[in-house]
Amino acid sequence: MRRLPTMRIVSITEGEMPPFGGSTRAVRTPRVLRVIPGAAERARWLRTFDPVTDFQNSPSDVDELLNEALDGIRAAVSADTAAVLLLDPAAHFLVAAAARGVESEVRQGARVPVGKGFAGRVASGRAPVIIDEVTAESVVNPLLISAGLRTLLGVPLLAGDVLVGVLHVGRLTDRSFGPADTALLEEIASRLALALRTRTTRSEREAAVALQRSLWPEALPAVPGLEFAARYVPAGNGGTSGDWYDVLTAPSGATWVVMGDVAGRGLAAAVAMGRLRSALRAYAIEVSDPVELLDRLDRQLQHFDPGVMATVLCAVLDPLGRVMRLSTAGHPPPVVAVGDGLPPVMMDLPVDRPLGVGRLRPRRATRLALPPGATVCFYTDGLVERRHRPISDGIAALEKSMFGGHAESVCARVMADLVGDEPVDDDVAVLVMRRLPVDESRSLVTRMPAVPASLQPLRQTVRTWLGDLGADRVPAEDLLLAIGEAVTNAVEHAYGPRPGEVVLSLVAEGDLAICTVSDTGRWRSPRGTLRGRGLTLMEALTGTLDVARGDAGTTVRMTRSLREGGR
Amino acid sequence: MTTADVVVTGTDARVRTVAVTGEVDLSNVAGVEDRILDATGNDLLGLVLDLTGVDYLDSTGLKLLFTLAVRLEISQITLELVVAPGSSVQRVLEMTGVGESVPMRTAD
């Protein structure tokens, strides 16, 4: 039979009925407790607590702050142990953050569900709880029992109305905590909670900025035949929002261009944005259709991040960069400059519902042909929206500012015209994509690591180059294979296990393509099952093959007409 | 300090034997890799990596072996690992599947 814990009669019992066989008391902090034990006496207690009374001047590091505070608290209420558990961001759990006398709580990462056990009830009731006899029934955390604690007092850490966590103290003796202890601990807790809140807010803001920075692409990928430029300006008030852009190439050779904005600000928005970005990347290598990508992303968001809303514009370019298909989930359509002499306009793109807000009707995709020189400007609403002017004016200003030209120049102009010297009150992200005009793509030098993974993107580069020059089908296929063979040779034979690089240079002189593949390794005679066939093949495909082998490396030069029947 | 030695022991010019002795961990794996690569030119037909004298090999050393195996396969240079029978290195290589992708034999 379970031994019934002894009841303790206290003078102040206003509060809830003890839920566990009378072993605990939930004290509802009656007014009378506030004045007991008298202002003078309380002041004296607080003086004994002086070293850390003014938490606002104490260490800015939360761990240091807590450890210092707990030593003072232990002394102030003559407790053997003291511990702080902080509420996790989702407010489901209390997690041990600092402890004195029960250090294992922190080391073992103790966590208590809100509402369960001793600390959990302090949190859910937002009121002090005293346990006169620690038993397996009265506490859920076995560490408190194994530490030999006999009595416990816990108070909520409340910064105003906001619950930050729980502070509890314990004694190894039967000497119970009284109303005076409760009053003092509550006083300390309210100061500590405010200090914690300040620090948490500050560190969350720093974390949000750091997180968001880490999620922005360090460099946009080099995609043959396309150029990109981007700008991102965080809001002037120091906050961050969930803006993001991404450019990624899929294994199929398709290029995804993404611009998005997670509703909300601060760390929560930055974290949601990070998850959305990772999910999008995962889906982008699986699917080829922007509608399907947005649908999957929507399902993912609604399932794992309910309550989060985001606007996302997804565009996918075919491997040759000629055609773009776009679908937008609540995000403003891009402004495009396509074709000579036509003024830049906001694309006529049906805007479907944002992500995270239920299913209404099927999403739609729109096709946009990209002739050479076509320039597309993606942006977040921070660029066109200002407090003092309607969004339509902002879009008109963007259309006026935008032009078909170098991506960097377009970016610079748009930022100068629409942002200028004004501090922005929302984040501004701009991403400009341009399909290179043919005359700028007649010669091309590309360097790649001498590894098999370089071969597929290399073919993409060569296909795009040949396509832009309008090469006939058979010569294009011949050149593609011949160049592939030359690069494969360098990957297989030039370097041994050491890493190395292959450089491909493509030049068009009239209808003649001049292709050079060079490495800086040591030449060795080809080996393997297709020993030597590569060279034979290259010669047969191009007609002219010149292999220069030297100490500085090997250079293979091939020429071939871009026209059928020509050599 | 973790120390390891890497020496070329074989006499065959086309199939080189490289013996690693000592301990390999994060602190010295880059140096060990460098010295193995120094000994492995692209003119080789094969590389025999003798690990019988290795007393300790952690996951960074395993990564080195995997990377080396992949790279040598591309270059069409064979790789064979030699381990001391019953040694911890043999167990680790078997447990982590290195033995599945790289020929491995125990020293006589």
CA geometry: angle A543, A549, A555, nearest 5 deg: 55
For residue B80, the domain's CATH number is: 3.30.750.24
Ranges assigned E (strand) in A239-374: 241-249, 255-265, 310-317, 323-329, 335-337, 345-346, 351-352, 366-369
With an 8 Å Cβ cutoff, the interface of chain A facing chain B consists of 451-452, 491-498, 521-522, 524, 527-528
pLDDT at B1: 75
CA geometry: angle A391, A396, A398, nearest 5 deg: 95
Does the residue A9 lie in any domain?
no
Residue B21 structure tokens: 């002795």
Q: Identify whether residues A38 and A181 lie together within a single domain.
A: yes
B71 with A500: CB under 8 angstroms?
A: no
- Mutation target to probe the B interface, by most B beta carbons within 10 A, among A488, A493, A498 is A498
With 90 as the cut, is the pLDDT of residue A277 above it?
yes
Residue A56 structure tokens: 């606002």
A428 with A233: CB under 8 angstroms?
A: yes
Residue of chain A with shortest Cα separation from B35? A498
pLDDT at A15: 34
- A5 pLDDT band (50/70/90 cuts)? very low
Give the distance from residue B83's alpha carbon to the nearest chain A alpha carbon, in angstroms: 21
Q: Is the dihedral of CA A320, A326, A332, A338 positive or negative?
A: positive
Residue A278 structure tokens: 């990772």
From its phi and psi, is residue A364 left (phi > 0), alpha (psi between -120 and 50) or beta?
beta
CB contact under 8 A, A497 and B75: yes
B28, B36, B39, B35: which is closest to B68 by C-alpha? B36
Q: Identify whether residues A147 and A238 lie together within a single domain.
A: no
For residue A281, the domain's CATH number is: 3.60.40.10
With 60 as the cut, is the pLDDT of residue B63 above it?
yes
The count of other CB atoms within 10 Å of the CB of residue B45 is 13
Task: State which H helix or E strand residue A198 sits in.
Answer: helix A179-215
CB contact under 8 A, A496 and B41: yes
A375, A216, A220, A350: which is closest to A291 by C-alpha? A350
- Mutation target to probe the B interface, by most B beta carbons within 10 A, among A487, A495, A530 is A495
- A20 pLDDT band (50/70/90 cuts)? very low
Among A20-24, A395-399, A523-527, A531-535, which stretch is predicted with the lowest mean pLDDT? A20-24
Q: What is the mean pLDDT of residues A168-172?
A: 93
Q: Identify whether residues A366 and A311 lie together within a single domain.
A: yes
Q: Identify whether residues A297 and A345 lie together within a single domain.
A: yes
Taking the C-alpha atoms of residue A379 and residue A218, their distance in angstroms, rounded to an integer, is 18
Number of domains within chain A: 3
Q: Identify whether residues A61 and A114 lie together within a single domain.
A: yes
For residue A473, the domain's CATH number is: 3.30.565.10
Q: How far is CA A259 from CA A79, A313, A387, A388, B1, in A?
A: 56, 5, 22, 25, 50
A133, A127, A169: which is closest to A151 by C-alpha? A133
Q: Which domain holds residue B97?
A: 4-106
Number of domains within chain B: 1
Does the residue A476 lie in any domain?
yes
Q: Identify whether residues A260 and A326 lie together within a single domain.
A: yes
Q: Identify whether residues A198 and A225 lie together within a single domain.
A: no
CB contact under 8 A, A497 and B76: no
With 50 as the cut, is the pLDDT of residue A35 above it?
no
Residue A269 structure tokens: 């928005």
Secondary structure (3-state) at A538: helix
CB contact under 8 A, A496 and B76: no
- A320 pLDDT band (50/70/90 cuts)? confident
- Tokens 């200003």 correspond to A397
Q: Identify whether residues A385 and A508 lie together within a single domain.
A: no
More confident residue, A268 or A77: A77
Residue of chain A with shortest Cα separation from B75? A492
pLDDT at A51: 40
A566, A494, A564, A481: which is closest to A525 by C-alpha? A494
Among A59-63, A76-80, A346-350, A537-541, which stretch is predicted with the lowest mean pLDDT? A59-63
Taking the C-alpha atoms of residue B12 and residue A60, their distance in angstroms, rounded to an integer, is 65
What average pLDDT does the structure give for chain A? Answer: 82
With 50 as the cut, is the pLDDT of residue A325 above it?
yes
pLDDT at A271: 86
Q: What is the mean pLDDT of residues A532-538?
A: 80
Cβ burial, residue A109 (10 Å; 0-12/13-18/19+)? exposed
Q: What is the mean pLDDT of residues A519-534?
A: 74
Among A141-145, A402-406, B66-70, which stretch is predicted with the lowest mean pLDDT? A141-145
- A409 pLDDT band (50/70/90 cuts)? very high
pLDDT at B85: 93
Does the residue A11 lie in any domain?
no
Residue A505 structure tokens: 């240079």
Q: What is the mean pLDDT of residues A295-323?
A: 91
With 70 as the cut, is the pLDDT of residue A200 above it?
yes
Q: Identify whether residues A106 and A168 lie together within a single domain.
A: yes
Give the distance from residue B61's alpha carbon to the nearest chain A alpha carbon, in angstroms: 16
pLDDT at A319: 81
With 50 as the cut, is the pLDDT of residue A21 above it?
no
Taking the C-alpha atoms of residue A378 and residue A349, their distance in angstroms, rounded to an integer, is 13
Q: Identify whether residues A281 and A336 lie together within a single domain.
A: yes
A13, A45, A46: which is closest to A30 by C-alpha? A13
Q: What is the pLDDT of residues A78-127, one digit of tens each?
A: 899 999 999 987 778 898 888 988 887 778 878 888 988 889 999 999 99
Q: What is the CA radius of gyration of chain B?
A: 13
A44, A123, A108: which is closest to A76 by C-alpha? A44
Q: Which domain holds residue A277?
A: 216-437
pLDDT at A22: 38
Does the residue A53 lie in any domain?
yes
Does the residue A52 lie in any domain?
yes
A-to-B residue pairs, Cβ atoms closer than 8 angstroms: 39
pLDDT at A297: 95
CB contact under 8 A, A522 and B41: yes
Q: Identify whether residues A173 and A245 lie together within a single domain.
A: no
CB contact under 8 A, A522 and B72: no
Q: How far is CA A527 from CA A50, A331, A532, B70, B74, in A?
A: 81, 55, 7, 17, 11
- A365 pLDDT band (50/70/90 cuts)? very high
pLDDT at B58: 85
- A532 pLDDT band (50/70/90 cuts)? low
Q: What is the pLDDT of residues A545-555, one digit of tens each?
A: 899 988 889 99
A49 Cβ contact list (under 8 Å, min separation 6): A72, A73, A75, A76, A184, A188
> Would you give the distance in Å from CA A214 to the centre of its chain?
7
With 80 as the cut, is the pLDDT of residue B5 above it?
yes
Q: Identify whether residues A254 and A121 lie together within a single domain.
A: no
